[in-house]
Amino acid sequence: MTNSPEMIPDSNPASRATEGQDSFESLVEPKSENRLVLEGGVWHQISPKYVTVQLISHGSILAIVVVATLVLALVLHLQWAWIVGGVLAVIQIWTLAILPRQARAIGYRLREDDLVFRRGILWQRFVAVPYGRMQLIDITHGPLDRGFGIAQLKFVTAAAATGVVIPGLAQSTAETLRDHLIEVAESRRTGL
């Protein structure tokens, strides 16, 4: 199993027109493994380990809700705890059920002038972050993330509304993407 991100081809006919040209260029110019290439028609997916980490996190919350409900209802004889605990348990079970689908909806795409990020099932969000506007690119990971070898990549721009967090990237992918974006952002800001 490799640490490279999973890729899904774009169904856009305009991007398919350049596929033959891209494959020819890849034959002519060898590409380094540590360098990301601008691939106009490819969506990069997050690591499947992200789902596992989220299942553990939300499963733990569900266990705490069940234990708290049982203690409040059976030991302290507070009957309202069944209603509150039941509602919270249903919300957590629903969250656990849709987690895999939510993870498949998260992706990013490197284009010539910007990075496009998508997420969401019902409420979809597509954000294009121009390389020249990136001010901070940060990698974060919690204890579970470190244990599973994944990280979050955060982009901060001047506009607070365009801050983007890409969760569930393999650690090596996050570092490579960060280095690539810093390099491209610096060259765009200096006008090279």
Distance CA 23, CA 51 (A): 33
Is there a domain that residue 147 lies in? yes
Distance CA 47, CA 52 (A): 10
**Do 87 and 141 belong together in one domain?**
no
Distance CA 134, CA 108 (A): 15
Residue 35 half-sphere exposure, CB side, CA atoms within 13 Å?
8
Distance CA 12, CA 43 (A): 12
**Do 120 and 179 belong together in one domain?**
yes
**Do 81 and 149 belong together in one domain?**
no
- 144-172 pLDDT tens trace: 999 999 999 998 887 766 678 999 999 99
**Do 71 and 87 belong together in one domain?**
yes
**Do 67 and 131 belong together in one domain?**
no
Is-contact 128 116, C-beta < 8 A? Answer: yes
Is there a domain that residue 148 lies in? yes
**Do 130 and 168 belong together in one domain?**
yes
Please give the pLDDT value at position 161.
65
**CATH number reported for the structural domain that contains residue 152 in this entry:** 2.30.29
In sequence order, what are the residues at sequence separation of 6 or more whose Cβ sits closer than 8 angstroms to the Cβ of residue 11?
none
Is there a domain that residue 140 lies in? yes
**Do 113 and 151 belong together in one domain?**
yes
**Residue tagged 């974060």 (tokens):** 140
Report the chain's mean pLDDT, rounded to a whole number. Answer: 82
Number of domains in the chain: 2
> Which of the 8 DSSP states describes residue 5?
P
- 55-94 pLDDT tens trace: 999 999 999 999 999 999 999 999 999 999 999 999 999 9
Distance CA 109, CA 10 (A): 10
In the predicted model, is pLDDT for residue 26 greater than 80? no
- Helix (H) or strand (E) holding 60, with range, is helix 49-70
Nearest to 129 by CA among 88, 104, 94, 159: 159
**Do 134 and 74 belong together in one domain?**
no
Of the pLDDT bands very low, low, confident and very high (cuts 50, 70, 90), residue 31 is very low
Is-contact 84 69, C-beta < 8 A? Answer: yes
Is-contact 171 141, C-beta < 8 A? Answer: yes
Last residue of a domain, one of 85, 102, 119: 102
Rounded to 10 degrees, the C-alpha dihedral 164/165/170/171 comes to 100
Is there a domain that residue 65 lies in? yes
Distance CA 115, CA 128 (A): 6
**Do 83 and 96 belong together in one domain?**
yes
- 94-112 pLDDT tens trace: 999 999 999 999 999 999 8
Task: State the helix-helix crossing angle for 80-104 and 49-70, rounded to 10 degrees.
Answer: 180
Structural domain for 81, as ranges: 52-102
Is there a domain that residue 5 lies in? no
Mean pLDDT on 126-132: 88
